[in-house]
Amino acid sequence: MPEGELATGPIVTEALRQGKEVYVPYIHKAAAAPSEARMSVMDMVSLHSKEDFERLEADSWGIPTPSECSIAGRKRCLGGMNLQPQTSEGAREGMQHLDVIVMPGVAFDRRLARLGHGKGYYDFFLSRYKQGLGASNDSESNMPFLVGLALEEQALPEETEVPEGPHDWRLNALVIGDRPVLRR
């Protein structure tokens, strides 16, 4: 894992052992010109097994990630089995519901705001996920539960806040070492 972040491998391994469906981030070049002139985007793709997880290789961030040649055989959270853009109706039809997303971060504050690595991959993914849910009044309640895992050093002092923009998503819960869980 990138220096200064908690390793989530044991969480993934335990979820797979329990028979849960697990998705991992996959960053790739944008197939179409998305908004905000993004060159690359993040999708969540399925893992097949513990052995599949153990075969993942570290990307340039040090994060275990599926190889490009393995993507075609994986389910994609936003719908379908590939990374080509889909119509919003097609994406909604094949969309996989996520219960929880463990959100990485460099720093976290008491308001449950997080400072990522500055690329906005998770925030943009969550906006696309919400859009895939449609305009129903329930779309907010169908969003995944967002959890941050932080080392003590990543928790900002109480009076310090992470700077936020209009596209930033706050966490639902934050786990900091042995402290009580912070919740919205």
Average confidence score pLDDT of the chain: 85
Residue 66, classified by CB atoms within 10 Å of its CB into exposed (0-12), middle (13-18) or buried (19+), is buried
Query: So what's the pLDDT on residue 87?
Result: 47
- Give me the percent of the chain exceeding a pLDDT of 90: 60
Residue with the bigger pLDDT between 87 and 147: it is 147
Say how many Å lie between the first and final Cα of the chain, rounded: 27
Instruction: Give 12's pLDDT tier (boundaries 50, 70, 90).
Output: very high
Mean pLDDT calculated for residue range 119-134: 90
Query: So what's the pLDDT on residue 136?
Result: 56
Residue 157 in this model has a pLDDT that exceeds 90: yes
Tokens for 76?
A: 């994609």
Residue with the bigger pLDDT between 2 and 76: it is 76
**Strand extents, DSSP E, the chain:** 23-29, 40-46, 57-58, 64-65, 100-103, 107-108, 114-115, 145-150, 173-176, 182-183
Residue 94 in this model has a pLDDT that exceeds 80: no
Residue 7 in this model has a pLDDT that exceeds 90: no
The region of weakest confidence among 14-23, 70-79, 87-96, 109-118 is 87-96
Residue 178 in this model has a pLDDT that exceeds 80: yes
